[in-house]
A = this chain, B = another copy of it.
């Protein structure tokens, strides 16, 4: 068993920051699997594994290549069924898609203006040029114009996280008494923020911040292996 995880980094290869890669790093640790991490910049991605993917994470397990964080989590669940479950059964697997949808359509778009200039600043020069061009095209505005929305986004984000606060009034993790991949989905978003930006997004006593701290402590404090920005 030889596992390799391609992980997005900036100029410092020791600081992976992609939310989707963090989901997979936590999923691997949850399964008790260790993988060699290979740091790649944005512009390295088309060259890895003979053009196997346009995005990371990319997991190589022996000769098998899997991209997309949710597909990787499913692959790990099917391939390593005797290790701790990432979904807690078929209902958890299905419902995790709504958690992914919530995180990606409601949380990520609010984090983008907050983090975008900090992410740009941590990239290698060749990746900075790629990032600026691709993100400005996607957003229809300059990075600086997008970043002007950060104060409003921070205020919105605090409200938009209410579904998680509601959940945490009933249980310590989205997965219940212990975490599941659904937790790692949302963890990935906040870890993206923690590893790229000094901006304070949550109050220290926010139940979401306390949950995020619990997630950082998981699996030998894997999440703390990269310090906060």
Chain B nearest CB from A107 CB (Å) reads 10
Q: Mark A75-104, 1 if CB is under 8 A from B, else 0.
A: 000000000010111111111111111101
Question: Is the Cβ of B102 less than 8 Å from the Cβ of A163?
Answer: yes
Question: A106-B162, A106-B163, A162-B106 given as contacts; is B85 within 8 A of A91 (CB)?
Answer: yes
Q: Does A135 contact B (CB under 8 A)?
A: no
Q: Does A164 contact B (CB under 8 A)?
A: yes
Question: Is the Cβ of A166 less than 8 Å from the Cβ of B94?
Answer: no
Segment 101-130 of A: residues with Cβ below 8 Å from B: 101-102, 104-106
Give the residues in chain B near A85, CB-CB below 8 Å: 91
Question: Is the Cβ of A98 less than 8 Å from the Cβ of B182?
Answer: yes
Q: Does A6 contact B (CB under 8 A)?
A: no
| Most chain B CB within a 10 A radius of its CB, from A98, A105, A160, A182 | A98
Question: Is the Cβ of B97 less than 8 Å from the Cβ of A88?
Answer: no
Give the residues in chain B near A89, CB-CB below 8 Å: 88-92
Q: Does A173 contact B (CB under 8 A)?
A: yes
CA–CA, A93 to B170, complex, Å?
Answer: 12
User: What are 21 inter-chain pairs, A to B, with CB distance below 8 A?
Assistant: A87-B91, A88-B91, A88-B92, A90-B92, A91-B95, A91-B96, A91-B180, A92-B95, A94-B173, A94-B182, A95-B174, A95-B175, A97-B167, A97-B174, A98-B163, A98-B164, A98-B182, A101-B162, A101-B163, A102-B163, A106-B160
A residues with a Cβ closer than 8 A to B are: 85, 87-102, 104-106, 160, 162-167, 170-171, 173-176, 180, 182
